[in-house]
Each structure stands twice: as structure tokens, then as C-alpha cells.
Structure 1
Amino acid sequence: MTHVMAKGANIALPVAAVRAVLRWSATPGAPDVDASALLLGPAGKVRSDADFVFYNQPRHPSGLVRHLPKQQTADGSGITDTVEAELGKLPTDVDRVVLAGSSEGGTFRAVSGLRLLLFDAAAGDGVPALAEFAMADGDEVTALVAGELYRRAGTWKFRAVGQGYASGLIGLATDFGITVEDEGDTRAGAAAGPPAGDPRAALPDPRPAGRPEPGTFTLAPAVPQAPAPQAPTGVPANMPPPPPKPPTVPPNLPPAPTAPPAGRPGYGYPPPAPHPGYGYPQQQPPAPAPGYGYPPQQQPGYGYPPPNTAPQSPQQGQQAAQPPVPQQPTPPAEEFALPPQGPQFQPR
């Protein structure tokens, strides 16, 4: 038995899976209608954009909610668009399944015979519908919530809603938390018609000749976050670090003195002092000039080997006993000068 529903009425559903069918009359020039479904969580919003099932996303990732191809009735008087939902297998965080519809090419006021039929998905064809909700007096809207499936005390129920959206499918989707993008007529292939294999290709075009092709509706793609730009350093990665800078000398200090060249004392510098000490030879005064025929006399000093003390022959001993003849100093040469001359010798 089919329950004919009024707006706001609800019934319990004794089935585990349902088939929700939007049906309208195939009137020439009437807008086209598309069915859709939204899976809502406890907050009344979708959990993600994947919870929106419609013609551009016809299957939920779980496979429990599906959008079926559009068909024409057997007698050709009507067109149907269908959504199936396996209610008994939906996760517990799904509280509601919204059954919606949108129109292309006009408002729902121009759609005649619009109704929502709810069937048992496990039953075959020809079985009467569980519920029927007619929306004969459509408003000037392009999207609407036809009904909703919801949980109550562990069981699923159906409520007839019939709420319209003047902002279209975009307004309906964003109201339930979907991020959408309206591409309009600029989308590639928007005027190409239904895809290959879609039963809508065999349906008569309800739009009159000369009417522009309606816009399309897609979910907005996720925008990747670009990495934050880094400031260029200007230094190659393989370049070694620069050497440390020398310490800066304060300007009020005098310049450091420069050591004089080796072997020549500089102005204002005392000559280097000898370094006497154990194992170092002492600096000896210069020996006097040797006399004619005599060897230079070497004075022994600390650290120098003693003179030869080997035994000598008697002749050598006599010669050694004789004292050396001291050298007489040579008198300086007198300067020669002429005696004073008398006037007779002066040049005239």
C-alpha cells in the first residue's frame, strides 16, 4: 500500500534499503531535473564533500548511496531520476540522508507532475511505492529538498519536506556544508550534452530551440598550499665560510716597533748583549794585531780547550822557556815640511 504524503508528514520505513525516485512530466520546453542526496552527521552538515552524491559524483566512497542514470517511463509520458540508499548499512555517525532535486533551464514552477516516490530497493519492478509525495504547486526556485530519511529510536523514517532554494543547487549544497564551484557555460564540454551511455541521450530535449545551454555544477577542488618562499642567500652551498677578520687596532695606539735588520742595530736600539752561560762561549775582545813573524796569541777562556800540553823535546823546551820579545811600537812618521824661506827665495 502506498502512503500518499502531505508536506511535513512522516512514516516509518520497515525496509533496509530504499530507492527514491524523482518523476516529472516530459513536457516540451520544461526545465530538466536532477536528483541528488546528502549524507549528514549529528551537526546537520556533511562530514566531507564526498557525502554529496549527484550527477557529477554519482557514487559515495562507501558504495552505500548511489545516483542511477536518468530514464524515461514506459509510456514516454514522464522522466525519472533515481537515488538508492542502503540505510541498514550506513555508519552510526550518519543521522540523515537528504533527498534533493535541482532544475536546469528554468524554475520548478515550469516543471509539471513533479513527485517523489519511495520504493523498497529489494523489491522488483511493478511493486507499488511505499510513499508518494506530490509537489504540484512548485515555486520560483531552482533547487529543493523533496524529503529526508532520518534515524529515530534505532529505526529509519521518511519525512516529506518540499523546501525550495532560490539560490539553486549551490545554495542548497553550501547550506549543508559543501564547498562548490559554479563553472557556468565556460566549462569545457558544457554544451556537449549527456555523456556516452547515459540514457538521457535518448530522451527528447525539453528545451526549446535557441535556449542557451545551462551552466554546470562541480565540487571545488582542493587548493594545495604552496611552500613559503625562502629569501635567496646569494652564497653557493659548496663555498667554505670566510676567514675570521683580524682584530681592529684602536686608532690611539702607536704602531708596533719594527725590529732592525740582523747584524745591524737600529737607531735607538742597544746592540744585542752576549749570552754567557754554561756551555756558551764568552765573547772575547779582539786579539791585537800579530807582530812580524809571530803567530797570534790566543787567550784561553772558559769553554775553550786548553793549549797543547804534550811533552816537548829539550830544544823545544828551551825555546819555550825564552820569553817572547815584545814588539816595539812603530813611531809615527814625521810630516816633512820645508824650512821658512827668505825674501830672496820668494817668487817675484
Structure 2
Amino acid sequence: MTLASISFILIIFQFLLEIDAKVSSIIVFGDSSVDSGNNNYIPTILRSNFRPYGRDFDGGRATGRFSNGRVPTDFISEAFGLKKNVPAYLDPSYTIQDFVTGVCFASAGTGYDNLTSQVLNVMPLWREVEYFKEYQSRLREYLGDEKASEILSEALYIISIGTNDFLENYYLLPYRPSQFSIEDYQNYLAGIARNFIKQIYELKARKISLTGLPPMGCLPLERTTNFIFGGNCIDRYNQVAISFNQKLQALVESLNNELTGLQLVLSSPYAGLYDIIQNPHSYGFEYSATACCGTGRFEMGYLCDEYNPFTCPDANKYVFWDSFHPTEKTNGILANYAVRSSLAVFQ
């Protein structure tokens, strides 16, 4: 084990010890940044339930997480004194008993925009809400109304979604650009986010973390498409992310004033991840422009498999696991930062 790996483990262990949890459960909505395996059980090609995905997860299992190990919500759950890994709702190996202190409804490849989910036939956001309603009924049947209501109102709801709406939809397909300017599309998505938060608020959600966009122009896949300009980050994509995050912050402030008892925070990974990408050695990484899996430039999903001879032996040296998703080490650092900053209000 390298010195950087040991330092990373010590940092994570320290922040796990220092958290005094005041939430009952972690309930997750979103995309591949937090999907813990729901896509394994729907008819889509966007899956990661095969090696080398999960090779550094407990037991080396490929669970459907788009990482070599855990995703940020797993670290956050553990930090709040709950389960180490948040289970996927559609995984039949879990029961309602397993979902009492944490459950994930996220689906890799989805977005705020229903059209985004259609690109790779994944769950739209409204379907995640329908499963949440089903979960509530099961929870009430299992625990009774009073206990279930207490858990639902004291749970921390984490929403991590939006990147696919831009990179998989707006900048890839012609339909939305023909309807919206980029600013109008941002406003369109922010409106969907508003309605979604109000919807889960009506379903007892009070403690909510809304995750902003990362520096999506610096993902290895996007840098690969920018090879004519030396493989640098695509600045206009990053500027869109910054602008959208500002709209989300305004949304947070508005809804906190509008909805009684709501504690809504914006948890933005932009600054933290951008700094890691620009200064990888400061965090114990060696590579931030390319990913661990395959050539590290374009592989994701089925292009990232155990037969690819180029996959790196030590993911801890890399900021990114595949061309779109961070390594477990990066996820741990970002979760640590979120717990100590935006999520501190819930401790």
C-alpha cells in the first residue's frame, strides 16, 4: 500500500469518527454519480455490474456502481453513523429491513429532463419518485405509521443529477438546442428541480442536499473530444456548470423561504473537484487528465471491461476511474468535504 493510500484512509477514518449523526436514514435520488446498482435491474445497456468495476469494493464485487469502489453517498452514510453502503432499491437481495436506514433510487444516465433518460433507456426522475412512494408504503407497513413518518422526516435526502442533461442530451442531440438557448435550458432544468423538491417535500422530506454540477468540461471523455486544442478542459462546459450552480443556489434560497420547516442546502462538488484536477499531486494523485480504466480517454460501461489490457493496476493514482466517473479515492475526498461544509448543518 502506498503512502498516499495510507494517508487517504487515515483522513476518511478521522472524519468518520468525528461525526455525531442526527439523521435517521440516507435517501438518494439521481444518476450514475450515486447509483448503487439500480440499472442492473432495468433493460438498459448502461450498466457496470462487471469487472473491473467494483474491484476495490468490499469483496471485489461489481455492484453496479460506476467506480472501482464506493460512491460519495456510501461515504456520507457511514459518516452519519449509518450503513457503510447505501443499497439499491431494485436489488432483490435486499428487503425493506435493509432500507430503513438508507436506500438509493438513482439510475445511471438519467437527468432532470425526461428526454435525457430516453437516450439510454434508464429510469426518468419521475420513476424514481414513484419507487420512493412505493418504498414509503412498504416502510409504513413494516414499522407502522408513526415510526415510518419519523424516519422519513428525519432522513437526509441527497439529490445528485444534471450532468447528463448537458453532456448526453443538450450538447449531443439536436432537439433541445432547437427549442432552448443554453440559458433557457438551464432555467428549464432549474424549474424541474424546483418541482421535484416540492414533490418530495410533500412526501415528508425536510433535510435535503441538492448537488450541483462538477467541472464537466474536465471529464476525461470531454478532454478527449477536445484533442484539437491539446486535450484541455472545455471551458464553455465548465462555465455552463458554474452558471447552473448559481441558479441552483438561488433556487435553494427561494425554497427555504417558501416551504416551512425545509432545510435545503446546495452541495457543490465543482470547486473541490476542479482543484483536485488542477493540482492532483496535492491530493496524492498522479493522473487527472486520463482515467484508470482502459486508455483512460473514452472508455465507460461495457467499453471498460476486465479484458482491456490498458487498465491501470492502482486506481488510487487516478482522479477518474473511467472517462466519466471518479475513483473511490476521489469520491471519498469529495464526500469528506461535503460532510464538513454543506452537510454540517445536519450534524
Structure with the higher strand share, 1 or 2: 1
What range describes the TM-score normalised by the shorter chain of this pair?
under 0.3
| TM norm structure 1 | 0.24
TM-score of the aligned structures, taking structure 2 as reference length: 0.24
Higher Rg:
1
Of the two structures, which has the highest relative contact order with CA contacts closer than 8 Å and spacing of 6 or more?
2
Point out the structure with the larger helix share: 2
